Amino acid sequence: MTCTIVVGGFFGDEGKGKIVSYLAVKDKIAVAARGGVGPNAGHSVVWKGKKYKMRMLPSTFLCDKSRLLLGPGVLVDPTVLLTEVEETKTALRVGLDPQCAIIEPQHIERDRGSNHLKSRIGTTGTGCGPCNEDRIKRIGKVARDIPQLEKFLTDVPFEVNKAISEGKQVLLEGTQGTFLSVFHGSYPYVTSKDVTASSIAADVGVGPKLIDDILVVFKAYVSRVGGGELKGELSNEESDKRGWSEIATVTGRRRRAAPFNFELAKRAVMLNSATQLAVTKVDVVFPECKGITDRNRLSDEAISFIKRIEQETGVPVTLLGTGPSVEEIIDLRS
Ligand code: GTP
Ligand code: IMP
Ligand code: MG
């Protein structure tokens, strides 16, 4: 029984939603809590032919025993949250910390109306930056101020720490990616807070001693949406040709693409003190691996790519994504 943190190793959109949803089913996660920024994230979960875009709730929702919590560090947009609870029919399992800061329409207007944020940084326009700004100024609202959220309120740090002490399977789900961190990313082209594993633990209220595993998720190539440098960036034509072009979950923008960056991967492993790695979209770079679940069917090219990641980072790769669906995965843990 363990407490695991899952974080992104590049610029977000590495496929954390897919990895977390697999772990929910396979490891029967009893309690999951989201850390990270807030509804700027969009974790895709493809399950039983339906695609869910999880912006607020943990991606473990498909395991019907999993408690779905949002740590006090997370920003909550009540409209997005209530829609998601309705869509996933999870009202009885959702818990929100009373101190989650609230995104109001004025935060969204400020985000979208600012040339600096919208045009220069290329934010998601979901109000997260201005809401964090108000939280730091200590003038913003928090969840306990909103009557519609009252029935979900709970002491999230207490629940999570209790579950850990009872030996339950606990997962803390991060958002965005290491190099979008306001401390460790390519400032100023970053999000409005730190998003490395230490901050995810702090967002939920778990001390570092209680974390057993830190799973950093990489994609088999690098993608980035919004401003900021992307080393080795491909032209749109080249990225279309390779099948690496993607459309962002929350904003519908085109994600820029570049080959896997071993230097960034090594740094992400250091910044998060990774104990395990997942690599998604192996099927996109190595199409012969599409949909396989048996490690013995991996091509030689895919095996040497994975081996190189392990050699360069010194950390084992334990999960390989071979398609968008929850079950399209190779689990190398046993
Ligand atoms: P953020 O918190 O927004 O950073 O999201 P995320 O890390 O959960 O990633 P997101 O779902 O935004 O983007 C990943 C995309 O890749 C989605 O469209 C997934 O459905 C898809 N995907 C994830 N894993 C795989 C995989 O192994 N193979 C393929 N083909 N697609 C995948
Ligand atoms: P903000 O977090 O909306 O303020 O956006 C700041 C930067 O982070 C922009 O470059 C966004 O594109 C990027 N960003 C924020 N959230 C995500 C995400 O979930 N996936 C990918 N990029 C993100
Ligand atoms: Mg995303």
CATH (domain of 195): 3.40.440.10
Under-50 pLDDT residues of the chain: none
**42: in domain:** yes
**Measured in angstroms, how far is the CA atom of residue 249 from the centroid of ligand 3?**
5
pLDDT digits (tens, 9 = 90+) for 278-293: 999 999 999 999 999 9
- In this structure, are residues 224 and 176 in contact, taking their beta carbons and an 8 Å threshold? no
**Measured in angstroms, how far is the CA atom of residue 137 from the centroid of ligand 1?**
34
pLDDT at 266: 98
CA distance linking residue 154 with residue 126, whole number of Å: 25
Task: Name all residues whose Cβ lies below 6 A of ligand 2.
Answer: 12-13, 37, 40-42, 121-124, 126, 128-129, 175-176, 180, 189, 191-192, 225-227
Q: How would you label 225-261 residue by residue, b for 16+ Cβ within 10 Å and e otherwise?
A: bbebebeeebeeeebeeeebbbebbbbeeebbbbebb
**213: in domain:** yes
Give bridge partners of residue 223 from the DSSP assignment: 257
**137: in domain:** no
**Measured in angstroms, how far is the CA atom of residue 249 from the centroid of ligand 2?**
11
- In this structure, are residues 22 and 8 in contact, taking their beta carbons and an 8 Å threshold? no
**122: in domain:** no
Q: Which atom of ligand 1 is nearest to the CA of 329?
A: 27
How many Å separate Cα 239 from the centre of its chain? 23
* Pocket flag, ligand 1, residue 175 (CB < 6 Å): yes
**259: in domain:** yes
pLDDT at 252: 87
With a CB cutoff of 8 Å and minimum separation 6, the contacts of 70 are: 33, 34, 56, 57, 76, 81, 94, 95, 96, 97, 100, 156
pLDDT digits (tens, 9 = 90+) for 240-296: 999 999 988 788 889 999 999 999 999 999 999 999 999 999 999 999 999 999 999
Number of domains making up the chain = 1
**130: in domain:** no
Q: Which ligand is nearest to the CA of 187?
A: 2
**123: in domain:** no
**131: in domain:** no
Segments forming the whole domain that contains residue 196 = 3-101+148-331
